[in-house]
Structure 1
């Protein structure tokens, strides 16, 4: 049980929490990327299970692992929490503390808190006060740093590694042609894995100078203003983004595909699309997770020692690393890859390069 004291039930003086309409909830949910929503649903399911185990909500509203929570981010269970506890900031703070006691990564805890805050708004309860919860998380971060625990970051996938990986692909097969294009174009765009998976054939425009790619929506462009990225020809045929994409488009055309999703699923028989009852997008589009799988699988095939440290984000970080080594400034790198001006994440990647190539001790005469 918990030491938190339930509040009085709803009364004329304290009405039940207002629940948004189904259409409002639908638009609120779709304001977030699908991958973010999936993560939030998992986070909220775990939060509600924790609350249920402590008697904070009725047992029949406690979610199980056997089925997904409902479309309203389990609004019924969350409304029950609101009925019983009113303002949930103390509950959220205790949950953050619980996750810290379990040794969860700070980023994992931060996302779990965000999921609870979104559900709080979805239940019509307005903004969740998270100041105390964030103070607990801040202390946990400091304790983790003092204990020598560091944040795990994706290893940058640099050009020499990319060439070694591409060399392992069998481009006589459809999967090999696709995977090469995913790796090379993803690197050339400095793209997030969701941006790679979200590309359509119509987003590509070939020019005399190379390739113009339209990124219709991204993590830092939730208003879907879109951006264009110019990709020039490469000097190596196997890692030239323009030629590898042309080869993939030609392979798609041979299978009668000339529109729709650019990168598509390929089954174990080498066929495009997906099984009639399989999971995934109806148009056969790959997911961001597939991009990560392609990166790690190909790194393992290339016998790279640190293959397990690679992820879908390694393409993006590798682009930033190599662009900086080539002498490009942070603003130009950021606008090509879709980082916001002044992005601290990009600044960290650039500092990783600069502290070696422009080290303050160079030339001091030690």
Structure 2
């Protein structure tokens, strides 16, 4: 490999001249500037691409434009989501740059992807969106959790506070006990890093007391922190693994961090599992993103200013994603036909 190339969520690529010496710590920091989840996803995408090439006697590196287009068509035949295919194209491109090889021209591959999107739209299966956790849904989910158990206490706090923060699942999983401060007004939370915070400046979020004990973010979090303290867990991760026997944290020889911190993927599993247990319609459509989307739609529906919503949950000002969620509310709340007299 002639250069170190990493790609971050902003699609930026950083290259280092191979003649320049880099210390191990510098190399490690360059590598870790890309979120672990992104590195893991790209590695999986590249492995699947090389396996596909091997089965068809095609060269994965360097790959031709035709090979990439055929692979995209293969993914479309497998009914993969367009976002999944986009990431696969990015993974192939990054792998070539990492190996100091010219990436294949993606024009034909993207033409195939556009047609796949059209086919999905014609079949009534456009962009897949996470189903939002509304207040009604939130209450239904909380009601089925057994808070007499450690897992029930954790899951209630995770769902309620995850909704209240409107944060990404990776940011929720990254919370430490030291990031939470109880105040007279509620709870102050520090989000140390986020996808849109490239400088790692962090953001401070104020969470006021709720009016219902079962869904009050302060009281649900206090109950969970008290349970952690009973297990002598007073520092480190807020949300941790609990095994089938009710034991807290990672098994002695288990995978993951030593304190048993949940992953972003585990957050999504908990949300979907609770939705299924609550018997919600289309429960399988609930994902790790459902809390964030629900926060946006419910707070806007209640009259919150879009700018305050964005800054609370860490969207960039003018975020098209947030605008789309607001539009979902406005198409009914501010429908141009209202009051016409039909």
TM-score w.r.t. the length of structure 1 is 0.82
Matched, 1:322 2:283: no
2:258 alignment counterpart: 282
Structure 2 segments unaligned to the other structure (5+ residues): 5-17
Match runs of 1:1-366 below 5 Å: 18-20=2-4, 26-57=28-59, 81-82=61-62, 88-125=64-101, 129-366=105-342
CA distance in 2, matches of 1:358, 1:153: 22
**SS of 2:117 mapped into structure 1:** helix
96-105 vs 314-323, which deviates more?
96-105
CA distance in 2, matches of 1:292, 1:182: 11
**SS of 1:212 mapped into structure 2:** strand
Kept in 2, the 8 Å contact 1:121–1:128? The answer is no
Once the two structures are superposed, residues 42-93 of structure 1 have per-residue CA deviations (whole angstroms, 9 ceiling, x without a partner) of 1110111112223234xxxxxxxxxxxxxxxxxxxx6xx23xx6xx444333
CA distance in 2, matches of 1:288, 1:184: 16
| Structure whose CA Rg is larger | 1
Paired positions, count: 324
Residues 319 and 209 from structure 1, CA distance in 2 versus in 1: closer, same or farther, beyond 3 angstroms? same
Residues 268 and 235 from structure 1, CA distance in 2 versus in 1: closer, same or farther, beyond 3 angstroms? same
Residues 147 and 179 from structure 1, CA distance in 2 versus in 1: closer, same or farther, beyond 3 angstroms? closer
CA distance in 2, matches of 1:232, 1:126: 53
CA distance in 1, matches of 2:3, 2:165: 42
Kept in 2, the 8 Å contact 1:195–1:218? The answer is yes
1:71 alignment counterpart: none
Kept in 1, the 8 Å contact 2:46–2:91? The answer is yes
Shift of 1:263: 0.7
**SS of 1:214 mapped into structure 2:** strand
Runs of 4+ aligned residues of structure 1 deviating over 6 Å after TM superposition are none
Structure 1 segments unaligned to the other structure (5+ residues): 1-16, 58-77
Residues 364 and 238 from structure 1, CA distance in 2 versus in 1: closer, same or farther, beyond 3 angstroms? same
Kept in 2, the 8 Å contact 1:324–1:350? The answer is yes
Shift of 1:361: 0.3
CA distance in 2, matches of 1:52, 1:159: 49
